[in-house]
Amino acid sequence: MSVEEASGIGSDRQQIETLLDDFERKGLLDDARTAEAVVHARAARYGTRRLAMDLRARGIEDAVIDQALRHTPATELQRARELWRRRFGRLPADLTERARQQRFLMARGFSPDTIRSVLGGVGDDADVNTDTDTDVDANGR
């Protein structure tokens, strides 16, 4: 919780800052733990870009985000394939269906290379290195 969020409660700013500092000292607030928990809970449903965006929106620093994203349970390609299998299960029959499947995966934060690999039917994770996209870093930028 940031000072700005807490200040809407009606307490004075100094009291809130003191309380948040006290929570951090006691280990009750930890951005690294929060980032790891979010990544662990959401990695099966979202790509690296989306996870990074969500963590950034929570005010977590980029270095902490990088560290948390390094510990995803599977590669982005593996996660995208599994999500795609659950949602669609078969390659698109026409361009309209392909566009629909692409939009779904893009909205989930998967990189264009990953989406091409999934929809192109690439069978082996070794065929394409999609852990990091050449035009984005681990934070999805």
Identify which has the larger pLDDT, 36 or 127.
36
Q: Other C-beta atoms within 10 Å of 123: how many?
A: 9
Model pTM above 0.85: no
Q: Percent of the chain scored above 90 by pLDDT?
A: 60
Cα 105–chain centre separation:
13
Q: Give the pLDDT score at 126.
A: 37
Q: Other C-beta atoms within 10 Å of 56: how many?
A: 15
Identify which has the larger pLDDT, 48 or 2.
48
